[in-house]
Structure 1
Amino acid sequence: MNAPGVRWTPEQVLSLAPDAASQKAGNKLATAGPWSGAGSDGDGAVWGLCKGSGKKPYQTVVDTTGPAYSCSCPSRKFPCKHALGLLLLWAGDEHAAGHGDVPDWAGQWLDGRRQRAEKQRETEAGAEGAGGTAGGGRAADPAAAHRRAERRAERITAGATELEQRLADLLRGGLASADHGGYGLWEETAARMVDAQAPGLAARVRELGAIPGSGPGWHVRLLEECALVHLLDTAWLGRDGLPEPLAATVRTRVGISSPADGSPVPDRWRVLAQYDASDGKVTTRRVWVHGADSGRTALLLSFGAAGRSPALALPVGGELAGELVPYPGAGQLRADLREGHRLTGEPAVPPPGGPVTAALTAYGRALADDPWLESWPVTLTDVVPVPVPSGDGTAGGWQLADASGDAALPLAPAALSRPGLWKLVALSGGGPVTVFAEFGHAGALPLAAWSPAAGPEPIALV
């Protein structure tokens, strides 16, 4: 496998940046001027010393097989601007960070990282062979864990029952009165769900509280969301009669986390898209990959709190050889990426796709498995971004229309305010393109696009 020696493109490096400011700062450090002792080896390591404001230069090292990063700077962003600048230097000039011997300071971090990865693989292999857990230590008392799970289930049941009463009171009094009590009553109800150890229900209650008075048609939106919360409540209360995949989905939706314990799926995983979303407290990074052989699409999630960027960052447009471990649930989209994956050097060509009608069918099937699903990954082939004419005093939007003109998907409101929309329009030029998107009740959010004129690698739209 030629993965360790694969040299990335500048676009792949920039796709790792946590934000636009980091991209700009990394570009400024992409020249040889601030760097000394820069080098790389045949095993995926890149290192260098970057001149900063202090006397000592920052020690920066990257393991591109992860990828993983280490820098002595105090930045809380991940990767930091020094790691981005070093990778851009390495990607743009094969002589600037040529092959050499790994310095001691970089070797210590690399050796430690690879030893931990090897130990983890040995632990997982031993646990699988023994039929136990991969924790590496003494297994927890199953009886005690069962008792804790039962106590939590009882608290969630009490919370779901109370929430059902709250919804019944709301409907009995009429939705028109929902905005009279203010947000405080909803926040109080959400706090009760937190006390019941049901953070998923708490999050949905907070969303309900934000709907009243949110604009024209809020009564309809509130009724729809109340119906979904009611469905989740009743599903939890009747979970013993559900098929196990759906029961696992319900447990996840109310807020009970489960480990990734599915059967590992080895494949060549093509990195299609990566973007961050923040609720003000936690930043969630969503990475979409597609298996070249299995045909499976998977979602990798990584989280960062207290101003820190999520740890996982993969080069969009690249291909990784490795194993994914899926989480339980009806859709089983989410998965974890095991250590030991490597870049293959192949581009992330688009997954098999189809027309708009096929995307609608796929989303409908996914909703049957998970009624609380926000969106579903779809690949649209031969579609054209076209504006929707305004009318009746309303502003027009955009949609992805089949080149044949048979059907179209509206773009989600979130897509209309992003520069990726204009990048997509420019890439299309009025002609058909292939688009990978998240499609849900709010519309489609384009994440990546391919055009014959632009080559085999995806154009990131987020």
Structure 2
Amino acid sequence: MIERWSRDQVLALAPDASSQKGAQSVSTPAKWSATGAGQGALWGECKGSGASPYRACVDFGEPAYRCSCPSRKFPCKHALGLLLLWSADGVPADEAPPAWVSEWLEQRRARAAKAVAARAPERSAAGSEAAGAHEASPGDTAAAERRAAQREERVATGLSELERWLADQIGQGLSGARQNAPAQWEDLTRRLVDAQAPGVAATVSRLTRVLTEDDWPARLLGEYGLINLLAVGYRRSEELPASLRDTIRSRVGFPASREEVLAGPAVRDEWQVLGLRDEEQDRLVSRRVWLKGRSHGRFALVLTFAPVGQAMDASLVTGTTIDAELVFYAGASPLRALVAVRHGAAPSGVPAGSGVREALGQVAAALAGDPWADSWPVLLGDVVPAARGERWLLADAGGGPGDQVEGMPLHPSAGPPWRLLAVSGGHPVTVAAEWTPDGLRPLTTWDEHGQVVVL
């Protein structure tokens, strides 16, 4: 029996606002016929503009969607509308899906079985890739080694110049940075791209945002310090522990291939999907999905990308739980992961959160391993939204005036948390949020009935 999703969970799957609106327009019982839910799937036929109704179905195991409509959006409004109807208890249980649904489900589950069977040799092959390099021709191996050495030299030269530039800025003072720095940053970004250090280039390109802050001199000095720390860390990487060296190389912009990541050890758990956030930059949308292992208590980040206008990966639904194997990218504070194998859905429910002090300790530990991290997941239990002057924060419900830590402030851009206030009603709630240096970005909470509410 699949635990029923809330309306918020369904609408969060929509690729855009127009799809949300369209889904709501086709979510009435009068639009649907031959609906049913069973065997881990949902199906129905929706009246459309043509003579024949559109056939839509959902496989909850992934989840995955199929519809006979011509829409290129994924999931389409019909699949979303069917899910909305189901979430309102408008679809009857039926353990005998029609033939067109059964055929689709059998094809999907056959492919999934093959993927699981292929997982072991894939990991073995990835793990032995370096050991099997001798099978490649000597010329290919030598050329690859030359390219790698050339890139290391370019990066080292570029970061050495960056260190000298930063020293000059500190020596001259920051008083004229607002007028002079943006043009210098633009030129520096180009040179870092040429030096094949795209991660550092992206960091420098984002410095202009600091100048909009009231305390911009202190903020800029802090950003310069972190960039300098990264450049020095790369220069002295041979002296550092392997995990920290991996973190530095990742921040500089050295990629890790999917095969290299999958060669690492997998962590199997029942992973609770805490929430997600989309962010657009340079015509590319990145989706951050935050998870937490029910048994290990470990956080994970699944990161996907898509060009603006294209559908994002919607396989991880906020508020659901999956039994899966995750493989983490190497680093001193490993967080980003790949879903290697999904074994199916698992029972959902309100996850166990921590107090404010414990959450702050988790963030501090993460920053100790990766001081360049600009976000980290937190799951707070028994907290209430409260106003402190012009700022809102999440405070421990049982906290008193003598407590050392009262709460964690919300990000200024979040504004008053009206939706969270409505769910809480002054009572303690569990809140999943994304920590940033400027404050928390609330993601989800759970109401008194245990239903997830997307914030």
Amino acid aligned to 1:46: L
Change (3 A) 1:93 1:383: closer
Tell me if the contact between 2:385 and 2:420 (Cα under 8 Å) persists in the aligned partners.
yes
Shift of the alpha carbon at 1:145?
4.5
Change (3 A) 1:224 1:55: farther
* Cα distance per residue 1:260-300 (max 9 Å; x no partner): 33311111111221232222511122222211112212111
* Cα distance per residue 1:188-242 (max 9 Å; x no partner): 2212222222221111111123433x24221221111111111111111211111
- Distance in 1 between the 2:127 and 2:93 partners? 45
Show the counterpart of 2:203.
Answer: 204
Shift of the alpha carbon at 1:367?
0.9
Aligned pairs for 1:224-243 (under 5 A) are 224-243=222-241
Show the counterpart of 2:360.
Answer: 360
Shift of the alpha carbon at 1:320?
1.2
TM (normalized to structure 1)?
Answer: 0.85
Name the SS of the counterpart of 2:333 in structure 1: coil
Q: Of residues 392, 397, 401 in structure 2, which corresponds to 1:398?
A: 392
Amino acid aligned to 1:459: V
- Distance in 1 between the 2:243 and 2:108 partners? 36
Tell me if the contact between 1:433 and 1:450 (Cα under 8 Å) persists in the aligned partners.
yes
- Distance in 1 between the 2:267 and 2:57 partners? 30
- Distance in 1 between the 2:56 and 2:142 partners? 47
Amino acid aligned to 1:154: E
Change (3 A) 1:142 1:378: farther
- Distance in 1 between the 2:86 and 2:430 partners? 31
- Distance in 1 between the 2:164 and 2:52 partners? 63
Name the SS of the counterpart of 1:33 in structure 2: helix
- Distance in 1 between the 2:178 and 2:327 partners? 44
- Distance in 2 between the 1:380 and 1:414 partners? 20
Is 1:31 matched with 2:28? yes
Is 1:370 matched with 2:370? yes
- Distance in 2 between the 1:133 and 1:72 partners? 43
Change (3 A) 1:96 1:293: same
- Distance in 1 between the 2:195 and 2:98 partners? 53
Show the counterpart of 2:388.
Answer: 388
Change (3 A) 1:73 1:146: farther
Identity %: 44
Shift of the alpha carbon at 1:58?
4.3
Show the counterpart of 1:244.
Answer: 242
- Distance in 1 between the 2:157 and 2:331 partners? 23
- Distance in 1 between the 2:33 and 2:142 partners? 58
Number of residue-to-residue matches in the alignment? 439
TM (normalized to structure 2)?
Answer: 0.86
Show the counterpart of 1:455.
Answer: 449
Tell me if the contact between 1:32 and 1:96 (Cα under 8 Å) persists in the aligned partners.
no
- Distance in 2 between the 1:79 and 1:229 partners? 41
* Cα distance per residue 1:366-418 (max 9 Å; x no partner): 111001011222232332211122xxxxxx1111222323222211113226x
- Distance in 1 between the 2:120 and 2:99 partners? 32
Tell me if the contact between 1:325 and 1:336 (Cα under 8 Å) persists in the aligned partners.
yes
Tell me if the contact between 2:278 and 2:285 (Cα under 8 Å) persists in the aligned partners.
yes
- Distance in 2 between the 1:7 and 1:382 partners? 24
Name the SS of the counterpart of 1:447 in structure 2: strand
Show the counterpart of 1:331.
Answer: 333
Q: Where in structure 2 are there 5+ consecutive unaligned residues? A: none
Shift of the alpha carbon at 1:10?
3.4
Show the counterpart of 1:294.
Answer: 296
Tell me if the contact between 2:38 and 2:95 (Cα under 8 Å) persists in the aligned partners.
yes
Tell me if the contact between 2:37 and 2:91 (Cα under 8 Å) persists in the aligned partners.
no
- Distance in 2 between the 1:112 and 1:145 partners? 40
Show the counterpart of 1:126.
Answer: 121
- Distance in 2 between the 1:298 and 1:244 partners? 21
- Alpha carbon RMSD of aligned pairs, Å? 2.9
- Distance in 2 between the 1:131 and 1:24 partners? 44
Shift of the alpha carbon at 1:66?
0.4
- Distance in 2 between the 1:243 and 1:296 partners? 22
Show the counterpart of 2:6.
Answer: 10
* Cα distance per residue 1:79-99 (max 9 Å; x no partner): 222221122233434645844
Show the counterpart of 2:112.
Answer: 117
Is 1:282 matched with 2:284? yes
Name the SS of the counterpart of 1:211 in structure 2: helix
Show the counterpart of 1:221.
Answer: 219
Change (3 A) 1:133 1:118: farther
